[in-house]
Amino acid sequence: AQSVTQLGSHVSVSEGALVLLRCNYSSSVPPYLFWYVQYPNQGLQLLLKYTSAATLVKGINGFEAEFKKSETSFHLTKPSAHMSDAAEYFCAVTSYSSASKIIFGSGTRLSIRP
């Protein structure tokens, strides 16, 4: 069985500060890992994905995430937060056998302080 745990349901940072959203995964097979973002009243948009290539994955809007097998983590970071980054962020896991059956975490709401 696969699962993800997102640590912190709400994270607040100042504009220009580092963004760090934490995700730990559990998987009995090599995982594919994703970060999605959801803006109010919208569907989910892919930020980045890890599929066993480079462990440091760069995504859209300046976000990146590092796959650490020893820590079973896939934390999302951005060096400098922007007001437009305020949204809900979801970590997700699946495997090669069926990449569409994605299992999502419970989400982290990111707020940006002026």
Partner 1 sequence: ETGVTQSPTHLIKTRGQQVTLRCSSQSGHNTVSWYQQALGQGPQFIFQYYREEENGRGNFPPRFSGLQFPNYSSELNVNALELDDSALYLCASSPQDGDNSPLHFGNGTRLTVT
DSSP type of residue 17: S
42 binds partner 1 (CB under 8 A): yes
Report the distance separating Cα 18 and Cα 25, nearest Å.
Answer: 22
CB 56 within 8 A of CB 74: no
One character per residue 48-87, x = contact with partner 1 (rule: CB under 8 A): -x-x------------------------------------
Nearest residue (CB) to partner 1, 17 versus 24: 24
CB 65 within 8 A of CB 77: yes
| Site residues, partner 1 (CB under 8 A) | 32, 34, 36, 41-46, 49, 51, 90, 92, 96-107
